[in-house]
Amino acid sequence: MEEIRENDEYQELSEKITALQAELDELWDHAAEVIVSDDLNKKENIGALWAAFGEDVPNSRVAEVVDCHEQYPGRLVFNPETETVDYKDHVKQRKENQVRTDHRQKILERDGNACVRCGVSAGDGEAELTIHHIVPVSDDGSAEPENLATLCSDCHSSVHDEYGSGEVFYSTNTGFWQWVREGDRGFDPHHTQQNLDTF
């Protein structure tokens, strides 16, 4: 490598590449000003960018310009005829597969109206209880009680945050319950059969 670095031709090329990358960054900033509009939502802005530059624009660039999570553009699909974007089928299905209200109530009751991991309950100040799909819907996770668990909003976001809203940090069901056990409450409803019998 040492020899290559001292090579004049390499030096010159390397400087050119750096300069071009800087220029490309500038062009993207400019493109953002021209195409991206405050009047449009993120989804519509992504559609406008794809309509203008094609879908080959790297998601990381799109995310930067539109100010969304890097995985968000990957959930969308572009329709060249209408020049609009829509959610991919599995994302739509997730939206349809949202836990029904009565079902949600049963899960909350089963889990004692508290976060299975940290034990924060609905009555504790700011805590908001959410129903988590252990196997994500995007990975064909079901809306059956076995696949659902009550988490407070804090615990829920620590499951998802690093990986974007659709992904989780664990790779197996066991991994999820392991993480739950590390919390202050560490409650596993599946170990108390009577709770499951209510379904």
Q: Which residues bind Zn ion (CB under 5 A)?
A: 115, 117-118, 120, 152, 155
Least distance to Zn ion, CB of residue 57, Å: 38
Least distance to Zn ion, CB of residue 80, Å: 44
Least distance to Zn ion, CB of residue 94, Å: 22
Nearest to 132 by CA among 154, 148, 155: 148
Torsion of the alpha carbons at 32, 38, 41 and 43, rounded to the nearest 10:
-10
Least distance to Zn ion, CB of residue 113, Å: 12
Give the separation between CA 98 and CA 187, rounded to whole angstroms.
Answer: 23
Q: In the complex with Zn ion, which residue's Cβ is closer, 70 or 154?
A: 154
Nearest to 151 by CA among 168, 169, 129, 134: 129
Q: In the complex with Zn ion, which residue's Cβ is closer, 62 or 149?
A: 149
Q: In the complex with Zn ion, which residue's Cβ is closer, 67 or 182?
A: 182
Q: In the complex with Zn ion, which residue's Cβ is closer, 145 or 186?
A: 186
Q: In the complex with Zn ion, which residue's Cβ is closer, 44 or 154?
A: 154
Least distance to Zn ion, CB of residue 148, Å: 15
Strand 148-152 relative to strand 129-133, pairing: antiparallel
Would you tell me how many other CB atoms lie within 10 Å of the CB of residue 196? 13
Backbone angles phi, psi at 94, to 5 degrees: -60, -45
Give the separation between CA 146 and CA 93, rounded to whole angstroms.
Answer: 19
